[in-house]
Amino acid sequence: MKICKNNAIPLSDKQLELIERFGVFGNEHGIPPAAARISALLIISDKLELTFDEIRETLNLSKSATSNGINFMLLTRRIAFVTKTGDRKRYFKSNVESWKEDFSNQFQNHNAFCELLKEIEGIRTTETPDFNQAIEELHSFIHFFLGEIPKIYQKWETQRKTIQ
Amino acid sequence: MKICKNNAIPLSDKQLELIERFGVFGNEHGIPPAAARISALLIISDKLELTFDEIRETLNLSKSATSNGINFMLLTRRIAFVTKTGDRKRYFKSNVESWKEDFSNQFQNHNAFCELLKEIEGIRTTETPDFNQAIEELHSFIHFFLGEIPKIYQKWETQRKTIQ
DNA sequence: TTTTTAGTTCTTAATTAAAAGAACTAACTA
DNA sequence: TAGTTAGTTCTTTTAATTAAGAACTAAAAA
């Protein structure tokens, strides 16, 4: 049942299309559909701060799906909320400003993979030196790569400053 | 039913553990369980080239799961196979040597995300200049970041050469 | 020509994930 | 004190993944 008190915010066809495309991209990166669409809405909507019911009715989600989706995105810090004095509602908004750090940090989970490769190299038979060498090369490359990421970040920061 | 003609290759407990851990890592990155374990086996096993039945019996998979898993990994080029004259079997082996390029190339799928952000920026209301600016910053950062990746790759190559 | 080998494809079953809807709670309001 | 608001949590339904098993195919061998 749809208990629609018309909190839905109006969206153009293009906006709806972009929300879906953004959602698909999220899905491909481990974000559940509803959560991905919520985050997309908050980045596409003209109004930047939306309430629970505005999100729910705009995206045609159930209360539970809205609640879980919002909480997933809050937990992963991709969205945040503000409150207003004398108003019990929370106003959710995208955290785009912090997605930059997010973007470079996400690769650090490859550290675990790097460690795993090192462990594998440690227990491999000595009969296959070329193959073992390839594994060694892979993990030292990944290690090197991850070490370079903060440098990219710094380089960009200084470059931006000098341009502006 | 298990029609085991004992093609299974013997593995130590540590090897089995690493296969599972490797498998979990794959799962977290969109590789189906059976496929992830096949690729793990081929990187951990002492014997580098395994047949369909060796894979199937070592990992206790059905023929269909083995077939689909192998084909998934072949399609994504994480494994390959060799053939031998006078032998109809294919000998599957890990493609670790090419995982390095893979590792840096995988980020290029973020180009699509970058384009999507650009599109979103293009249709945003002009009423929210700060937020729009944040989107602009995000996509130019990602663009910059992706452009730096080949440089990391080159830097590593030259560095490796001088060391050896 | 029949059988075996080396797989692939199709159908079904089991597991898991996503979302809906209802019931609930805690804070505020009339 | 009863009702409303702003959600959360629990239970059920629906949909999507994953793998099993059987049936199939194409090439080679007997």
Q: Which residue is nearest to nucleotide C10 (CA to C1')?
A: B64
Who's near B94: CB < 8 A, 6+ residues apart?
A131, B39, B42, B43, B48, B78, B79
Confidence of residue A162 (pLDDT cuts 50, 70, 90): confident
Distance in Å, alpha carbon of A110 to nearest chain B alpha carbon: 10
Which of A46, A112, A134 is facing B25, going by the closest CB pair? A112
Determine whether the interchain pair A124/B97 forms a contact, defined as Cβ–Cβ distance below 8 Å: no
Instruction: Specify whether the CB–CB gap between B50 and B58 falls below 8 A.
Output: yes
For A9-25, what is the mean pLDDT? 95
Span CA (B62) to C1' (C11), Å: 15
CA B135/CA A18 separation, integer angstroms: 14
pTM of the entire predicted model: 0.91
Q: How many CB atoms neighbour CB B53 within 10 A? A: 17
Name the burial class of residue B87, with classes exposed (0-12), middle (13-18) and buried (19+) by CB atoms within 10 angstroms of its CB: exposed
pLDDT at residue B3 above 80?
Answer: no
Confidence of residue A2 (pLDDT cuts 50, 70, 90): very low
Residue A3: its pLDDT value, please? Answer: 39
Flag the least confident range among A64-68, B99-103, B123-127, B153-157. Answer: B99-103
Determine whether the interchain pair A113/B25 forms a contact, defined as Cβ–Cβ distance below 8 Å: yes
For residue A66, which of A79, A48, A83, A84 has the smallest C-alpha distance? Answer: A79
| SS3 category, B68 | helix
Cα-to-chain-centroid distance, residue A26 = 7
Interface of B with A (CB under 8 A): 12, 14-15, 18, 21-22, 25, 28, 30, 43-44, 46, 48, 94, 96-97, 99-100, 103-104, 112-113, 116, 119-120, 123-125, 127-128, 131, 134-135, 137-138, 141-142, 144-145, 148, 152, 155-156, 159-160
Protein residues in reach of strand C (CB < 7 A): A 1-2, 32-35, 60-65, 69, 86, 88; B 51-53, 63-64, 66-68, 70-71, 87-90
Residue B4: its pLDDT value, please? Answer: 41
Q: What is the mean pLDDT of chain B?
A: 92
CA B6/CA B124 separation, integer angstroms: 63
Who's near B107: CB < 8 A, 6+ residues apart?
B145, B146, B149
User: Phi, psi at residue B47, to the nearest 5°?
Assistant: -75, 130
Which of A24, A96, A144 has the most B C-beta neighbours within 10 Å, making it the best mutation to test the interface with B? A96
Burial A37-62 (b: 16+ CB within 10 A, else e): bbbbbbbbbebbbbbbbbbbbbbebe
Which of A100, A128, A144 is facing B138, going by the closest CB pair? A100
Q: What is the rounded end-to-end Cα distance, in angstroms, of chain B?
A: 53
Residue A4: its pLDDT value, please? Answer: 41
For A65-73, what is the mean pLDDT? 97
